[in-house]
Amino acid sequence: MEVKDRVPAVAGMFYEGDSASLKEHLSKLFDQAKLPVCDGEVAALIVPHAGYIYSGGVAASGFNQIPENAEYENCFFNRFKSSNGF
């Protein structure tokens, strides 16, 4: 099975359109993110996904709670459409 990169559908709308600007924006979001509030293992994490310009700071603060050296056997990602009312 050949793996192909998917062309970004909304680049430049909800996040920067070029990789250098995107990396810079993500670095700023994580620099401004809240520091971890506990030393233990993160059992679950729910973060918003409304585009980096809208919810990137909250998402970065959430991901910042995961210890840098953490290892997990399973990670699950789910995306609900906003029309689902969730």
Closest CA to 59 of 25, 16, 86, 85: 25
The predicted pLDDT at position 52 comes to 87
76 Cβ neighbours under 8 A, 6+ residues apart: none
The predicted pLDDT at position 62 comes to 94
Q: Which two tokens stand for residue 40?
A: 């233990």
Residue 83 has pLDDT above 70, yes or no: no
Per-residue pLDDT band at 76 (split at 50, 70, 90)? confident
30 Cβ neighbours under 8 A, 6+ residues apart: 60, 63, 64
The predicted pLDDT at position 78 comes to 78
| Average pLDDT over the chain, rounded to an integer | 86
Q: Which two tokens stand for residue 34?
A: 């809240």
Each residue of 35-62: pLDDT tens digit? Answer: 999 888 898 898 988 888 889 999 999 9
The predicted pLDDT at position 39 comes to 81
